[in-house]
Structure 1
Amino acid sequence: MRSKLLTVAIAAGLGVTSFSALAATPKSQQPARVSVDAATLQQLQAQLAALQAKVAELESKQEAQADAQIETAKAVNEVQVAAAKPTDDLTKRVDKLAKIVDNTHIGGTMFFDVTDMTHKEKVGNGPNQTKDGHGSTNGTGFDVKRFYLVVDHTFDDIWSANLTTDFSYQSSLSSTSLFVKKAYVQGKFDPLFTVRFGATDMPWIPFVEKWYGYRYVENTITDRSFEGGRSGGTATAGGVGAFGNSSDWGLHALGATTGDNSINYQVSVVNGRGYRNLSRSKSVDAEARFGYSPIEQMVIAVGGYTGKRGNDVENGAPTRTASRGDALVAWRDKTFGAGVEYFHSENWDDILKYQGTAPAPLSIKDKADGYSLWADWHFDPQWAVFARYDRVSYKYTTVADSERELKDKYYNAGVSYDILKNLKLALVYKHNRLDGPYATPYHYKTDEVGFWGQLSF
């Protein structure tokens, strides 16, 4: 627009100049037919001046408009930049939240059952009487034996953390309790070297559970509660409980390779009283496992435990060392599973030494041997039949140095159905019988039938 106006102005100026020159030329040299008088010339000059003023006014307005456009564009850019800053902050926050969510796994596992139980006891040759006792309650009922809630977070390729809570019913308290079963920080530096600080799986029991496959139906033999024994060398018949802990507080090192000719191991230095009792003592306990798989579907493993089980405390009773040795041979593929587990323990129950002070305990030391056989067959991708048989021999010596023995026999059989990938249900029959010395109350049998299930997410 500005160039067109300048063109017009220049053309008009040239035209006026021509007229001026023509007026200044002598009449003798002017064309004959051109005649411009002074009044006309003055009028043309006035028009030219007005046109030049108009051009100047338009140029001024155009420059002002261009300056306004520049300022407007600058203001718009500033607004856009200012508006982009909150968006960038929000994007960063969303990305940070997404990273936390992507690196955090939340899951859970529940063991539940609906069963009918019959528990009978007798003393000597007396009659069997249906009664509640030794951890068994007669009747029919629904039970949630375990509910684990898991939060697992990965910080980077090496460091991660885990928190697993454990919900269970405590018959001694007649109430439910919530525990921290796992709480650890992990550094995975190599497939053969991972370190965990805190409470986590112990080397033996969780390892056997993975090969057994039916933990929701029954604990493995070293973790199954054994109701014989004398509980710490006292005169009160309380029962050993389990011959190991599935989780404990301490320092754990582990690693494994995969495929054929693979190895796995774990060494744990722990407090000794299990994940439910975060206590101190003058010494720590140790448990270890080493496994070898000649082929991927098979494992041969050995393990052991030694320590004071957290009882080596200041001003406490003198203690002896509890020990346990373990062995496992197992097979598992998509169709078949089978295994045999053996353990031998000494002083696991009566870890406190007897010094001849009253009241005299009924036992001063103990030892136990046990084995477990199991097998299962998946005759259909969703259906399987399974069975298991356990025997435990528990021996203890009295103050008079006489040995007494309790014998525990347990078996189960059932059929399982995978309703969903993460939901299993099994119809099972269980039988447990314990026979002790003739005059003791440790003669009982328990029969239980019903449905056991596992839900995981």
Structure 2
Amino acid sequence: MRASKIAVALCFCGLGSVSVQAETNLSSQLFINASNIQQKDQTSNREGWEFDLKRFYLDFSHQFNDKWSAVVTTDVQWRRQQDPTDVWFRHAYVQRKLPNGQLLQLGVAPLPWIDYIARKVGYRYVDPSLTPMNQFAGPTDLGVHYTNKSDGVSYAVSVVTGGGFKKPRVGDSVDVEAYAALHVAPGLDIAVGGYRGARTQDKDDAPKMNTAERFNASINYQIKKMRLGVEYVHNNNWAQVASPVEDAKSGWGSWASYRYAPKHSVFVRYDTTKPSRRLNPSYEKDYVQIGWDWKVSPYLTLAVVGKRIEESSVSFDRESNELGLWSMWNF
């Protein structure tokens, strides 16, 4: 924790010497969809046509000078048949640009792996990537975050509380997440990442009986018109830190997209996961996504998307199909 205190001190010292030439920006981003869901072998009030406000981001950024800045992003969602969420602070950090592509962030900031892979998969306004979509990890957390990007190798390390951004809290220890990407050739990356900690599940009198661990790997290729990639994830005891019962989960994700015209692209994605390898090893979940998107203007992107989720185990077989219109609004 001493390193965290030193980083805090450095940040406040830097802010005390900022330039008078400051700049402030306010922007927002909305993910809205209207879709029809049809389900088999299950009863749900989510069927039929409904609107979803999947995300409403309000972003405030302030540039103190060419090295120091601050970012605050609020996050709200309103899903079908649910009340709107509380206002979350998805981002709330100060950052310092360091020489040679280095960056130091202090506060609730993006975690290394999801921030990296989301940029490779794309189409976040339709669905998040494999790891966050299946609760293998969270996108941001409170802590100290360091990033170093270069032409040959990029890497990042975060020392965090493990409590996530929705209900930030501090446990009895810190967690660590890291990733590294080898830039093999223009557009081609081989990347690995990992996480280890207690995720604040050992807070107060809760016993620490297991350690939450995650391993990620990806090979991906991205150029101006094309994205291709595959991702693997394996978790141990992600929600069983204070439990005598151990469990694990794993999954594969693959994606491809092609921008055949300046404003039009087609995309497809397939994920398969084992959500409970030890407690329910027969449980499998498959996700398929196919779509076409149109960048109407700098402020609006539309996509026609079809999705299918199939879940099976020894005790059930379920299927969910969804078709509709997804949109991303930028202001």
What's the counterpart of residue 44 of structure 2?
Answer: 132
- Provide the C-alpha distance between the structure 2 equivalents of 1:299 and 1:397, rounded to a whole number of angstroms: 32
- Provide the C-alpha distance between the structure 2 equivalents of 1:215 and 1:332, rounded to a whole number of angstroms: 16
| Matching of residues 140-219 of structure 1 within 5 Å | 140-169=49-78, 174-219=83-128
1:253 aligns with 2:153: no
The DSSP-based 3-state class of the residue aligned with 2:85 is strand
Measure how far apart 1:173 and its partner are: 6.7
- Provide the C-alpha distance between the structure 1 equivalents of 2:304 and 2:75, rounded to a whole number of angstroms: 25
1:455 aligns with 2:329: yes
What's the counterpart of residue 124 of structure 1?
Answer: none
1:430 aligns with 2:320: no
1:412 aligns with 2:289: yes
Alpha carbons of structure 1 residues 424 and 179: separation in structure 2 relative to 1, 3 Å:
same
Provide, for residues 85-144 of structure 1, a one-character-per-residue CA deviation record: whole Å limited to 9, x for no partner: xxxxxxxxxxxxx944xx112222111101001123xxxxxxx24x217xxx11211111
Measure how far apart 1:313 and its partner are: 1.6
Contact 1:394 1:405 in 2 (8 A): no
- Provide the C-alpha distance between the structure 2 equivalents of 1:280 and 1:153, rounded to a whole number of angstroms: 27
Contact 1:426 1:451 in 2 (8 A): yes
- Provide the C-alpha distance between the structure 2 equivalents of 1:223 and 1:447, rounded to a whole number of angstroms: 21
- Provide the C-alpha distance between the structure 2 equivalents of 1:396 and 1:342, rounded to a whole number of angstroms: 15
The structure carrying a bigger strand percent of its residues is: 2
What's the counterpart of residue 218 of structure 2?
Answer: 328
Please report the RMSD computed on the Cα atoms of aligned residues, expressed in angstroms. Answer: 1.9
Contact 2:74 2:91 in 1 (8 A): yes
Contact 1:308 1:319 in 2 (8 A): no
**Residue of 198, 202, 210 corresponding to 1:308:** 198
Measure how far apart 1:444 and its partner are: 1.7
- Provide the C-alpha distance between the structure 2 equivalents of 1:173 and 1:218, rounded to a whole number of angstroms: 18
- What is the one-letter code of the residue matched to 1:114? A
What's the counterpart of residue 365 of structure 1?
Answer: 246
- Provide the C-alpha distance between the structure 2 equivalents of 1:222 and 1:374, rounded to a whole number of angstroms: 14
Provide, for residues 247-297 of structure 1, a one-character-per-residue CA deviation record: whole Å limited to 9, x for no partner: 00011111212xxx4321110011112111211211111100111213332
- What is the one-letter code of the residue matched to 2:311? L
Measure how far apart 1:191 and its partner are: 3.2
- What is the one-letter code of the residue matched to 1:205? I
**Residue of 246, 250, 263 corresponding to 1:382:** 263
- What is the one-letter code of the residue matched to 1:451? L
The DSSP-based 3-state class of the residue aligned with 2:116 is helix
- Provide the C-alpha distance between the structure 2 equivalents of 1:384 and 1:397, rounded to a whole number of angstroms: 40
Q: Please identify the structure whose Cα radius of gyration is greater.
A: 1
Contact 2:32 2:328 in 1 (8 A): yes
Measure how far apart 1:453 and its partner are: 1.2
- Provide the C-alpha distance between the structure 1 equivalents of 2:277 and 2:228, rounded to a whole number of angstroms: 32
Alpha carbons of structure 1 residues 190 and 392: separation in structure 2 relative to 1, 3 Å:
same
Alpha carbons of structure 1 residues 262 and 395: separation in structure 2 relative to 1, 3 Å:
same
TM-score normalised by structure 2 residue count = 0.89
Contact 2:202 2:242 in 1 (8 A): no
Provide, for residues 214-251 of structure 1, a one-character-per-residue CA deviation record: whole Å limited to 9, x for no partner: 111111000113xxxxxxxxxxxxxxxx1001000011
What's the counterpart of residue 104 of structure 1?
Answer: 24
Measure how far apart 1:172 and its partner are: 9.6
- Provide the C-alpha distance between the structure 2 equivalents of 1:404 and 1:425, rounded to a whole number of angstroms: 39
Unaligned runs of 5+ in 2: 1-19
Once the two structures are overlaid, the 10-residue window that deviates more, 309-318 or 172-181, is: 172-181
TM-score normalised by structure 1 residue count = 0.65
Measure how far apart 1:407 and its partner are: 0.4
Alpha carbons of structure 1 residues 456 and 262: separation in structure 2 relative to 1, 3 Å:
farther
- Provide the C-alpha distance between the structure 1 equivalents of 2:221 and 2:250, rounded to a whole number of angstroms: 23
Provide, for residues 328-366 of structure 1, a one-character-per-residue CA deviation record: whole Å limited to 9, x for no partner: 111112221111111111111333322xxxxxxxxx211
| Matching of residues 112-123 of structure 1 within 5 Å | 112-120=32-40
**Residue of 263, 269, 275 corresponding to 1:394:** 275
Unaligned runs of 5+ in 1: 1-97, 121-127, 226-241, 355-363
- Provide the C-alpha distance between the structure 2 equivalents of 1:404 and 1:339, rounded to a whole number of angstroms: 27
- What is the one-letter code of the residue matched to 2:170? R
Alpha carbons of structure 1 residues 166 and 431: separation in structure 2 relative to 1, 3 Å:
same
Contact 1:319 1:351 in 2 (8 A): yes
The DSSP-based 3-state class of the residue aligned with 1:211 is helix
Contact 2:144 2:158 in 1 (8 A): yes
What's the counterpart of residue 169 of structure 2?
Answer: 279
The DSSP-based 3-state class of the residue aligned with 2:224 is coil
- Provide the C-alpha distance between the structure 2 equivalents of 1:194 and 1:200, rounded to a whole number of angstroms: 12
| Matching of residues 16-95 of structure 1 within 5 Å | none
Alpha carbons of structure 1 residues 452 and 171: separation in structure 2 relative to 1, 3 Å:
closer
Measure how far apart 1:396 and its partner are: 4.3
- What is the one-letter code of the residue matched to 1:254? T
Q: Percent identity?
A: 30
Aligned length: 312
The structure carrying a bigger helix percent of its residues is: 1
The DSSP-based 3-state class of the residue aligned with 2:200 is coil
